[in-house]
Chain A
Amino acid sequence: MLAVATALDVKDMDLRAASAAIKESTGSETLEIRNAAHLHGLCAGLKTGEYDIIGDAGDYLGVLNDGATIRVTGNVGQYVGDNMTRGLIVVEGSAAYGAGVYPYGGALVIRGNAGDFTATMNKGATIIVCGDVGDEIATYHLAGDVVVVGNAGVNFGNYMIRGALYIGGEFKSQGHNTRIEEITIEDVQKLRRYFEQFDVQADATRFRKLIAETAKPFYGKIVKRHE
């Protein structure tokens, strides 16, 4: 029996072939995947294993991730970590539109910048962006933490209803139904824990925190029909 392969070149493969090769090669060691930029939906729905993607990756990297650890040395396309439920995805470069949308859990760390609509409908994941982010970050945020070390665009935390957003830089405008809160000692401890765990260089004390104004932003007052 040959030793478990630790490197995989997916240059000429389509998604099905690459996915089969990845499943075959998954062992106790970290699997290195090269030339994966043309594949969209790579490492989808994995429950175990550690994967290092050398270079850039395409769209939908680590979609439905349920326990795998995925590291990318380059940049990623759109929707990295889409609908993740467990596990960890670390992107050394930057991410495009919609990074970490619909996640239920796990952690997504982007060391570069991230695009618009990052962490939309986050239902419990921890999402950390070390650079700047675009507009409409954490729209309809339902639970979990979003940490932005750099600056954000307009409508930061639009219509969030639970969870917390932390921002180190500035944002152009605050979303509807958000409130700026004083950062507490527990928040600072939590941020320091994240920074230590994910190796982020930032000063936790200078962060600002946004929480939801109300958990029922759409809840209308019920008025009886006239009588």
Chain B
Amino acid sequence: MAVVGAFCVSVMKNACINAQYPGKCATCVEVCPYQVYALDGDGQVSVQNFNACVGCRICAEFCPGNAIRINSAEPEYITRALWTFPTVEEIHHKALTGQYLLRGFGTMGPLPHFDSIVVVPSQISSPAPRDKYREECKTDVVIGEGRCDKPLHLKLPIVFPAMSFGALSREAKLALAICAAQMGIATNTGEGGLVPGENYMANGYADAERTDKKWEPGGYLVMQWSTGRWGVSVDYVRAGDAVEVKIGQGAKPGMGGHLLGKKVTEEIAAVRGVPPGSDALSPCRYYDAQTADDMKRMVAFLRDVTDYQVPILMKLGPSRPYADVKACAEAGVDAISIDGAAGGTGASPDIVTQGVGIPTIACIPPAVRALKDLGLHRKVKLIALGGLRGGLDAFKALAMGADAVGFASAAEIALGCRACMACHKGECVYGITSQNPRLRARLDPEEGATRLRNFIHATAEEIKILTMLSGHTSIHDLSEEDLRALDLNTAAITGLKLIGYEKRLPWWDN
């Protein structure tokens, strides 16, 4: 790989000390062994030979005015492949601090995702397309129908997956609850206990006595039962409209929730029962369940505690989707959320977020197959989570066999997040993942709920457009036939028909 001319060297004259006081500083000239910089007769520094720059950045490091920028002329992943500048910096960080990188948000970088799948519109050989503007499209989903006394009647096939109070601010949690009430969908407490007001607001009431119904039609709150069991009591379990047993999550399957001490304020500490400022690290597994049999018993007593009224859900990380979903369904739950590797998190070791777990599009087909093998597909609902960005991704997940989808990262972005990946620091400038009162004041729950509502509305409209142009009037009629894989790889891992070939690949049953 040629190194000549691989880097652009720029000196910002307004920050350069030499540009303002010629002769006073020539650090770059001194430290560069390749004569990239030179002094002219007046003592001015100039970049005389940037072709000689090898990208060592010693000049930038020593420059007292911080005026030098070295940029790769070609993208570094082409010119330097393994050893890009961020990789070098990461190793330096570890070498200096002895610590691995920790960050929030979710998986960044190339993973097989919904982008390599296209939607197949309807023409003459299949039922004609439906008119989105003048005809109706059925979008409601019922979780727990015929399996418990109070199933969840969701108006849209959308839920807000678990994000804990602690990871998220109180304002963000309430915005999610209000939006759920306005759109008739479900939100989730996450593992950090119940935010006061979350339960009745999610049902559409503005007061705890449930007299003033402020938001129609009213949604649902799923109470998460997790491995840290923060703020959990029998009243907590009974406070919501469903209980979700968390086994794992997409961003860090095999690890528990990770709330850094900086975000553990007095309020969070009181709900969770940890000292303020101490990291709240949830265990990676249940201390009160070791086997699939124990899980079965856990689901049974949760049903008993909630008087067999509400649905019990289970949330899985992306590990072995077929076997895991089968075990979940056998434990007797009403719905299974499967979170793909592209799922989000408040804080996780970078390597786990980046390198652990099965991508979302590869989780759904085995999960559907497991439910079909048990004869429970569409009876036990499948909720697809993990890096879904809008109606197009949602439609693809639904057509692949999911009954509903979840938007967590996308919901945060709808609230104002700009995906800076610093959720773990607790200094979210939009007040979403911060516990700092000054920053939290920037987010108003009702205003946030309006933004979320608009996002969910637009997404639902997108799902309807795609459903109707593929010739269906209900999201329940969608099937794999409405999708095609764009490349061999996607066709191989999803079992969808490959474009052009118009058949599934040979190792899938045709």
A interface vs B, CB < 8 Å?
15-16, 19, 40-41, 44-45, 47, 59-60, 63-66, 78-79, 82-83, 85, 97-98, 101-102, 104, 117, 120-121, 123-124, 139-140, 142-143, 161-162, 215-216, 218-220, 223, 225-226
Contacts and interface: CB of A to CB of B under 8 A. Distances in A.
Contact of B233 (A104, A140, A225): A104
Q: Which of B281, B287, B289 has its CB near the most chain A CB atoms (within 10 A)?
A: B287
Contacts of B289: 79
B301 interface: yes
4 closest pairs, A vs B, by CB?
A41-B301, A45-B234, A123-B273, A45-B305
Interface residues of B, number: 36
A123 B233 CA distance: 12
Given A15-B300, A98-B287, A101-B288, A142 B273 contact: yes
Given A15-B301, A102-B229, A226 B261 contact: no
Contacts of B288: 60, 63, 78-79, 82-83, 98, 101-102
Given A102-B288, A215-B278, A216-B261, A63 B99 contact: no
Given A218-B281, A226-B92, A124 B273 contact: yes
A173 to B, nearest CB: 20
B297 A223 contact: no
B275 A162 contact: yes
B233 A64 contact: yes
Interface string B274-286: 1101110101000
Given A64-B234, A142-B274, A219-B261, A44 B283 contact: no
Nearest to A66: B234
B99 A220 contact: yes
Contacts of A45: 234, 237-238, 304-305
Nearest to B229: A102
Contacts of A120: 287
Nearest to B274: A142
B229 A161 contact: no
Contacts of B235: 66
B32 interface: no
B404 to A, nearest CB: 28
B308 interface: yes
B4 interface: no
Contacts of A65: 234
Contact of B294 (A59, A102, A104): A59
28 contacts: A19-B304, A41-B298, A41-B304, A45-B304, A59-B294, A59-B297, A60-B288, A60-B297, A60-B298, A63-B305, A78-B288, A78-B294, A79-B288, A102-B232, A102-B287, A102-B288, A104-B232, A104-B233, A120-B287, A142-B274, A143-B273, A161-B278, A216-B277, A219-B261, A219-B277, A219-B278, A219-B279, A226-B92
Contacts of A225: 89, 93, 96
Chain A at the B interface: SS class: loop
Contact of B234 (A85, A215, A226): A85
Given A15-B304, A44-B234, A45-B305, 5 more contacts: A63-B301, A78-B288, A101-B287, A139-B287, A219-B277
Nearest to B277: A216
Contacts of B300: 15, 40-41
A60 to B, nearest CB: 5
Nearest to A120: B287
A82 B232 CA distance: 11
Contacts of B287: 98, 101-102, 117, 120-121, 139
B343 interface: no
Given A219-B279, A225-B93, A44 B233 contact: no
B372 to A, nearest CB: 29
Interface in B78-111: 89, 92-93, 96-97, 99
Contacts of B301: 15, 40-41, 44, 60, 63-64
Contacts of B229: 83, 102, 121
B228 interface: yes
Contact of B283 (A19, A82, A140): A140
A216 B279 contact: yes
A199 B96 CA distance: 57
B259 to A, nearest CB: 11
Q: Which of A45, A83, A139, A218 has its CB near the most chain B CB atoms (within 10 A)?
A: A45
A40 B297 contact: yes
